[in-house]
Amino acid sequence: MNRKKLLIRITLGALQNVSFKDMINLINGFGFQVKNVRGSHHVFMHADIPELLNLQEVKGEAKPYQIRQLLKLVEKYNLRLEDEQ
């Protein structure tokens, strides 16, 4: 899914049935990079912020509370979405 479309969708509150792969793409679009992976837990870091972001894949989908955590970080640090690759 297109990063901008996904961002609009989750910002409007549609946090269920979000593909884990689409969330990884969106997170990368905000400049996050994988720090490490342990089992189903993927930990991401961003060069400009001290907080880490944890995502967990469950049946191919991202957990809604973790999507909300991303949205809070985007708002708190005024992160901008990079262009689609």
- Domain spans in the chain, listed from the N-terminal domain onward: 3-76
Q: Give Rg (Cα) of the chain.
A: 12
Tell me which architecture the domain covering 3-76 has in CATH: 2-Layer Sandwich (3.30)
Query: What's the pLDDT score for residue 55?
Result: 96
Query: What's the pLDDT score for residue 84?
Result: 61
- For residue 62, give the nearest of 71, 49, 74, 51 by alpha carbon: 71
Token pair, residue 45, equals 């870091």
pLDDT tens for the chain, 85 residues long, are 899 999 999 999 999 999 999 999 999 999 999 999 998 899 999 999 999 999 999 999 999 999 999 999 999 999 999 876 5
Q: 43: which strand partners?
A: 36, 54
Cβ atoms < 10 Å from Cβ of 72: 12
Q: 70: which strand partners?
A: none
